[in-house]
Amino acid sequence: MYCPNCGTKLSGEKFCPSCGTNIVYPASTQSKLEGFGKDLQGIGCGCMSLIFLIILMVFLFNACTS
Ligand SMILES: [Zn+2]
């Protein structure tokens, strides 16, 4: 990773030690997962997981009573 402003080699600094530019690193795996979750909520799958849980509970309830 190099400073996009002055080209100084960086090793994880949030700010360039040479010119003080705020360094934005490529998205980590964690933030990718967060973005994936937001995408799912955006197309309505956030509700789908809740509905799936309810269906699962009803299924388990029926299995216990039968
Ligand atoms: Zn710099």
Q: How many whole angstroms from 14 Cα to the centroid of ligand 1?
A: 11
Cα(33) to centroid of ligand 1, in Å?
30
**What is residue 48's predicted lDDT score, i.e. its pLDDT?**
82
Task: Quote the pLDDT of residue 37.
Answer: 62
Give the pLDDT score at 64: 83
Q: Please provide the DSSP assignment of 5-34 as one string.
A: TT--B-SS-SB-TTT-PBP-PPPPHHHHHH
Q: For the segment 5-62, what is each residue's pLDDT rounded down to a tens digit?
A: 999 999 889 999 999 999 888 776 665 556 666 665 565 667 788 999 999 999 999 9
Output phi, psi for 38, to 5 deg.
-65, -40
Sign of the alpha-carbon dihedral angle for 40, 46, 47, 50: positive
How many Å lie between the centroid of ligand 1 and the Cα of residue 27? Answer: 20
Distance 12 CA to ligand 1 centre (A): 13
43 vs 3, higher pLDDT: 3
**Distance from C-alpha of 24 to C-alpha of 15, rounded to nearest angstrom:** 9
